[in-house]
Chains A and B, each alone.
Chain A
């Protein structure tokens, strides 16, 4: 005799299905989604990938400690290939998936185009590492917050570091990538505003085979110091090779790009004594904890980039806690009223402060100057702009 399908079986089945749906729904509401736009394949990959690693580490830690507001953090990572066009599309994808905030780790132009989406969809949007000078001001986007050290902060810190040298004539060298040109432009403006003459301003183009002609021009102008704004690997190597080959001795002062250890490989032994800006002081207590956690997780020593990403996520989570909810408007308000927050990045005693009208959070006194010694990043030798 066939087993009849009893009414109670149907009823039980319906309950199970409903429970499953309900559980699914509850599950979905159990996580707080945060979007990350990174570059895996394009020209920003070599700095975006480490930053994203920092975000992942932070997420792991936060979730292990119970998440935020009783819910786990779910990261949704998208790759934009450093294409500004794609970055905006990916931002929309993230918003459609219900993220409460977006972290932009890709290039500055990509972050800028993604902002058009965070503005129109009213989604909190941060960049932990981009230093693009006008990112937080060009598009009056109240949802966007910039935590990276501005080029203007970097040059002011370098100028205060060299104050005792009483520099009067300097040179600025970079490459023709977008970021380098932006940094070089800000450096020059700031130097001139401080009565320092920029006697040579040179670009070593991407694809160039040598930096000799440009550095000869710099040498002929007899600067007292050279400010390095570049970022592209081969051109950085060419800069240092030409510098040494031409017998130049001026101090080299570099932007925060040199806090990326990658150059120590391709310009090995050529960077001794170079001063660079960093937002990362390995001697700071909070940073030491981060270094230990990172080593445990990845087995290698971290540097500035993962620190930015790590701080970025912790910052968002802090804002969510203060907002007391996952409502995007409340998160934005919490971000805009951040006072005295500090994380891994920044000099000892520095903090992140934001307001609705000034959404650039990096402490103007928070940059440090470090020296390269023995093919390694040395300790901080100076901090702030005083």
Chain B
């Protein structure tokens, strides 16, 4: 029983990371329909930024307290997101280019981000100091590292904020309006540019948070971007791209399936890596819209 408690904490923590990545995809896909595969690299940049700001590696002169560097990283990566929107996505959308063009341009941004991250951060795994240290924390039957609980708590806060944003704020309504019908939204006076900017900036902010959370765990690593991008996308496909709740649901399902398969599936370890891939393929083939439907369907 204690084992399941440990496994659940670990699985949920991983699932929260996947869910956060899925959320950042969602923030962009909902209003613009654009799939931004560069998000994984933005998380990587956030991770290295967290290392540079919070530890004595990379930039020895700088060793800021955790929450200060968290805020700074969020700002920096959000800015990268916003800049990307202004420079590469907005011109294409306003030119009327097919939806595929910004997606491809973002693949270029992916390569740029990856290269910049590798050149700046190097090819070693670098840790940022975990804000609550490392030890075994037990909450009843659940056990994990302080970092794992911190990840879960942060995800709850972020998803709570995202849910409030979409359900309760005027900007969230604007996002939904643009998602439902772009032209109608523009005609109603919604500033499409502002929505696009906010979408990309918001996605960047969430990626920054993921970067900070991962750098305090297994460190910033120049090759962490692509797996995160794939995991986030898988979570999105599983949960459904229509709602915030879908992102966290998909993330948790992926995290739990991965963890329980690795622990209990009687197949050789070298084949367990295939499980998330099979899950992705299954959902794409059988239910590409995911488990949760968007609000407007079925009203």
User: With A207-B227, A234-B219 as given contacts, are A265 and B124 in contact (CB-CB < 8 Å)?
Assistant: yes
Main secondary structure of the interface of B (DSSP, over half): helix
- State whether the Cβ of A233 lies closer than 8 Å to any Cβ in chain B: yes
Please tell me if the beta carbons of B263 and A266 are within 8 angstroms of each other in the complex: no
User: With A43-B223, A176-B273, A209-B218 as given contacts, are A216 and B124 in contact (CB-CB < 8 Å)?
Assistant: no
- State whether the Cβ of A56 lies closer than 8 Å to any Cβ in chain B: no
Please tell me if the beta carbons of A265 and B17 are within 8 angstroms of each other in the complex: no
Given the complex of chains A and B, what is the CA–CA distance between A176 and B223 in angstroms?
A: 14
Given the complex of chains A and B, what is the CA–CA distance between A268 and B134 in angstroms?
A: 10
- State whether the Cβ of B157 lies closer than 8 Å to any Cβ in chain A: no
- State whether the Cβ of B191 lies closer than 8 Å to any Cβ in chain A: no
CB proximity to B under 8 Å, residues A193-207: 201-203, 205-207
- State whether the Cβ of A217 lies closer than 8 Å to any Cβ in chain B: yes
Given the complex of chains A and B, what is the CA–CA distance between A10 and B160 in angstroms?
A: 88
Please tell me if the beta carbons of B269 and A201 are within 8 angstroms of each other in the complex: yes
Q: Which range holds the interface residue count of chain B? A: 35 or more
Given the complex of chains A and B, what is the CA–CA distance between A233 and B3 in angstroms?
A: 26
In the assembled complex, 11 residue pairs joining A and B whose CB atoms fall closer than 8 Å, in A order, are: A176-B273, A209-B17, A212-B6, A217-B262, A233-B219, A236-B125, A237-B125, A241-B134, A241-B145, A244-B134, A265-B124
Q: How many A-B pairs fall under 8 Å by CB?
A: 117
- State whether the Cβ of B118 lies closer than 8 Å to any Cβ in chain A: yes
CB proximity to A under 8 Å, residues B259-278: 259-263, 268-270, 272-273
Given the complex of chains A and B, what is the CA–CA distance between A266 and B127 in angstroms?
A: 5
Nearest CB of chain A from residue B225's CB, rounded to whole Å = 10
Q: Could you list 11 further interchain pairs (A-B, Cβ under 8 angstroms) beyond the known A214-B269, A216-B6, A244-B134?
A: A42-B123, A45-B123, A209-B14, A216-B7, A217-B262, A233-B125, A233-B221, A234-B221, A238-B218, A266-B125, A268-B127
Chain A 367-378 per-residue mask, 1 if CB under 8 angstroms from chain B, else 0? 000000000000
Q: Which B residues form the contact surface with A (CB < 8 A)?
A: 3, 6-7, 10-11, 13-14, 17, 57, 118, 122-127, 134, 136, 143-145, 148, 214, 217-219, 221, 223-224, 226-228, 230-231, 255, 258-263, 268-270, 272-273
- State whether the Cβ of A235 lies closer than 8 Å to any Cβ in chain B: yes
Q: Which A residues form the contact surface with B (CB < 8 A)?
A: 41-43, 45-46, 49, 176, 181, 201-203, 205-210, 212-214, 216-217, 220, 232-238, 241, 244-247, 262, 265-266, 268-270
Chain A residues near B125: list those with CB within 8 A.
232-234, 236-237, 262, 265-266
Please tell me if the beta carbons of B7 and A213 are within 8 angstroms of each other in the complex: yes
Given the complex of chains A and B, what is the CA–CA distance between A265 and B125 in angstroms?
A: 8
Please tell me if the beta carbons of B134 and A234 are within 8 angstroms of each other in the complex: no
Chain B residues near A269: list those with CB within 8 A.
134
Given the complex of chains A and B, what is the CA–CA distance between A357 and B210 in angstroms?
A: 53
Given the complex of chains A and B, what is the CA–CA distance between A176 and B270 in angstroms?
A: 7
Chain A residues near B268: list those with CB within 8 A.
201
User: With A209-B13, A216-B3 as given contacts, are A237 and B218 in contact (CB-CB < 8 Å)?
Assistant: yes
Please tell me if the beta carbons of A266 and B136 are within 8 angstroms of each other in the complex: no
